[in-house]
Chains A and B, each alone.
Chain A
Amino acid sequence: LAGPPSPPGQDPHGWRVPVDCVRANELCAAEPSCSSRYRTLRQCLAGRDRNTMLANKECQAALEVLQESPLYDCRCKRGMKKELQCLQIYWSIHLGLTEGEEFYEASPYEPVTSRLSDIFRLASIFSGMDPATNSKSNHCLDAAKACNLNDNCKRLRSGYISTCSKEISATEHCSRRKCHKALRQFFDRVPSEYTYRLLFCSCKDQACAERRRQTIVPSCSYEDKEKPNCLDLRNTCRTDHLCRSRLADFHTNCQASFQSLTSCPGDNYQACLGSYAGLIAGFDMTPNYIDASTTSITISPWCSCKGSGNMEEECEKFLQDFTENPCLRNAIQAFGNGTDVNLSP
């Protein structure tokens, strides 16, 4: 279904479809010149910044050789086997080559080529995802029913719900770590025609919107005693390969742009919704609906910009990518209404 992405304008320089980093690492290990250069580069990158590294002849040479190897362009797939190992290889190269703390990082994941309409097509097989249903219907309740009729969805959903609502002791109200892990399994292993319907159902009344807000069991996976500062939270997230990757993926696919009709990069709603779902249980960066309002959809991670000092502008900018993001909002509304962008060929 999804062919290799083709770049804008045919590329005379031999466009390579990226392999995944685990495979690229195997290919590189089989080749003595590549593997020794890769080792050299990793030593170069260890604890040095880009510019001192590039000043060193040996490092420079290693980099030039590796730019031609599959390792340099490799990517990972979400929920793939050995995903963590793949991300580890990706960041082992890219952490030292990017300029350190950038506001937006490029996603290590392969670009999403499927569209929302593909999901609607699949969804219409098992239920009338007809937007013209009567006004009495509760889409979030229908989504829960649809999930319960599918063995896989039902098993993983009840799995995370029971994990996230298990009280440990009087002081510890649940195990957040286990809850996040169970949520990750649900969003990685259940097809998106089920998970998106639970997460992005459209609502006309408060009971429905509250059900939507409760989808990820926010009392355990989202809320905390105190709200940390968003930049502090981002920093914590970036110390973890998985969280960092999911956040970079969200920034890549949901970054609002003025260049497109929908405000989404490449007008791809599906890619943005997928990155959003991938960020859930991305540890403490988990986003959620902040209230059960039916009129306005506001999404935010559990953080605030209090105490940002001179970095307040940067903090607000980071937070607004969740709270006031036209791309994310349009994508969620489009899914709720069952409409996708008609791409003119």
Chain B
Amino acid sequence: AAFGLYFPRKEYSENVYIDQPAGTPLLRIHALRDAHGEVAHFHLCQNLIISRARSHENHWFQIREKTGLLYLSKSLDREDFNMLSVGSWMPLSKVMLYVFLSSHPFEEKECDSATRTTVFLSLINATAPACGSLTARQHCFTEMDLSFHIKENKPPGTFHQLQLPSVHHLCQNLSISYKLLAAEGMPFRYNENTTSVSVTQHLDREERERYELIAKCTVREGFREMQVEVPFLVNVLDEDDSPPFLPNGTDTADAVVEFNRKEGTVLATLTVYDADTTPIYPLESSRKKYTGTIITDDPWISETFRVEHIFDEIHFSPNGSQVRGTRHEYKLVLNKSISVTEHRSFQLDVLVNDTEFRGPERSVMLHFNVSILPVSIQFPNVTYQFTVNRNAERFAQIGKICIENCMKFRGVNITYKLLSPNVSCYPVSILQGREDKYGSLYVNDSSVLRRPECKEIQYTIQATDKQSRKHTKTLLAIVLEGNLLKKEEDCPDSCAVSKHHAECEECGGLGVLTGRCQWRQGSGKGITTNYSTCTPSIKTCPDGICDVIESKDPAVCPQDCTSGNIIGGHGKGTGNLGIKSGHGICYCFPRQNCYCEKDDIKEQLCDDVCKTVI
């Protein structure tokens, strides 16, 4: 701001009545100084704002340039009232005018200074009340609450007058006196002669940001005495007068990059405190106000890392009263995924700057000890061996393949491949989901399992890191076992079709491991995730995840993968796939509907009545 005079309130309000005489004082407006020796000049803009963007030239109101007293310069008659009430739906219409403030006398009617306050005048469709018809409260205070804001670190000054100029003008022979209660030890003074309230010293928001006093008013009329009390609040506005500081002096943090090398990973966080408030709104300016910059001339570092800054409000209590402050968090974040071969350590410095603070300690340096460790791509030292039952069907899941620490990896893309053996026996394949860190082995050709010459098959598995092209191999042995069972006639190809325990375990279906489907017995309590159903393997279906093998064919596990209708009491799974919970027994016809229903109570084939007949 070019000059620092300011208003202690954003809004003022007062009532205006029909035919009030010219010269009637309405209200008193005060200004507070930014620096010693400033003199306030008040002035009005020449337009009144009526509702909805209408404006009208101001013929009625004026303000004393030196004292800030707003008064009627011309009385408002009924015609003026009607004209000013156009476009207002409310029984009570308001006009608005702006009061401007300047440290020099106004040359011309300038109306664009940023320092302004709004005065709302309620036009009351009646003549001014007689002094005797007012209540004690109306004698003492207006409807607007007594709430003010004062900037910290500014010179003292007068900011309010308790006496109402309009009432004082109307009720000459009433004695109305005021007092400010709970003001002992507070930096405010009440002057009885002028009924004005001043702030007596520089305020410090970091000491206290709210003062709650009580304004008490006594109205004496002959022998009657009435008293009214209202709250009187002062909020202290903040300015940037505190430097950033470190909690317990912690300015160093370790940042280790090992298995998690993904872009966006937060490696370490350091905290900086500030006793000043930092507004969340508008966010952009606060971000500019407090900056965190990586200090480096190595282009690789500035490409690979970034600093994220978040801040939130905290409270501290300097001497019993709660004061708001700010906690800034600076997070060191990976700006791109780091290759598994990368290996280095260095110290990374971040300069935090409180740009608006006018002092020497406006910045702090944060240090991150970064160590980037390489990750080896290798299989564990054992060779894989899986046994597969000869009666397994296509899409039966045999096991998972995973290099060392693969489940901890993030931002490292490993692909698994089976290098085909030079034999004709070739029953299994490997599949990998888009986000999966492991490969899933499954039966791809079940007819091979039935051939007697196939007993044990040796494969080589290769895992490759996409980014560095590093790869590793290991051996995998598939051993076939078990005797061939006779295939049941007229069995459906999906286990999920079966409704009953018995028929479920008589049949096989896609994805079964031992030639027979498995029955899952649920708890049978209402709609539950633990519903009864028939599945190729209880371990993988239904588990709430439509995995990469189940999604190859809708007949394998519709309980996890169906996107069709589900009839009966149920809850759908994530992304509207599968049956998350069901009522009773759930069964499905692949590519069609699923049904969840309570098992019918089996009627006795022959009850007592029927026996008697027989």
A residues within 8 Å of B by Cβ? 5, 7-9, 11-13, 15, 49, 51-52, 67, 73, 93-94, 97-99, 106, 111, 166-170, 228-229, 231-232, 235, 257-259, 265-266, 306-314
Sample of 10 more A-B contacts, CB < 8 Å, known A67-B54, A309-B279: A11-B86, A169-B575, A228-B280, A259-B91, A266-B89, A266-B91, A307-B280, A309-B238, A309-B281, A311-B279
A310 B53 Cβ-Cβ under 8 A: no
A94 B313 Cβ-Cβ under 8 A: no
B141 to chain A, nearest CB (A): 12
A9 B280 Cβ-Cβ under 8 A: no
Q: How far is the CA of A228 from the CA of B576 in the complex (A)?
A: 30
B89 A5 Cβ-Cβ under 8 A: yes
**Given that A167-B576, A313-B149 are known contacts, is A307 also in contact with B312, CB under 8 Å in the complex?**
yes
Place the interface of chain B in its size category. 35 or more
B574 A13 Cβ-Cβ under 8 A: no
**Given that A8-B125, A73-B87, A94-B53 are known contacts, is A310 also in contact with B576, CB under 8 Å in the complex?**
no
B479 part of interface (Cβ distance < 8 Å): no
Candidates B51, B143, B149, B281; contact of A258 at CB < 8 Å: B143
**Given that A51-B111, A311-B281 are known contacts, is A306 also in contact with B313, CB under 8 Å in the complex?**
yes
Residues of A within 8 A of B85 (CB): 7-9, 11
Q: How far is the CA of A58 from the CA of B143 in the complex (A)?
A: 42
Q: How far is the CA of A312 from the CA of B233 in the complex (A)?
A: 14
Residues of B within 8 A of A310 (CB): 149, 237-238, 277, 279
Pairs across A and B, CB under 8 Å, 6 listed: A97-B53, A106-B51, A228-B280, A235-B281, A308-B281, A310-B149
Q: Is the interface of A mostly helix, strand, loop or mixed?
A: loop
B92 part of interface (Cβ distance < 8 Å): yes
Chain A residue with minimal CB distance to B151? A310
Most buried by B among A99, A169, A257, A307: A307
B52 part of interface (Cβ distance < 8 Å): yes
**Given that A235-B281, A307-B312 are known contacts, is A266 also in contact with B82, CB under 8 Å in the complex?**
no
A77 to chain B, nearest CB (A): 15
Candidates B91, B238, B281, B312; contact of A231 at CB < 8 Å: B281
B139 to chain A, nearest CB (A): 16
Within 8 A of A (CB), among B232-251: 235, 237-238
B312 A306 Cβ-Cβ under 8 A: yes
Q: How far is the CA of A49 from the CA of B88 in the complex (A)?
A: 24
B83 A168 Cβ-Cβ under 8 A: no
Within 8 A of A (CB), among B403-442: none
B95 to chain A, nearest CB (A): 13
Chain A residue with minimal CB distance to B53? A97
Q: How far is the CA of A180 from the CA of B125 in the complex (A)?
A: 43
Within 8 A of A (CB), among B91-150: 91-93, 111-112, 125, 143, 147, 149
Q: How far is the CA of A187 from the CA of B17 in the complex (A)?
A: 42
Candidates B111, B112, B235; contact of A312 at CB < 8 Å: B235
A170 B574 Cβ-Cβ under 8 A: yes
Residues of B within 8 A of A232 (CB): 280-283
The 4 lowest CB-CB distance pairs between A and B, nearest first, are A309-B279, A97-B53, A307-B280, A232-B281
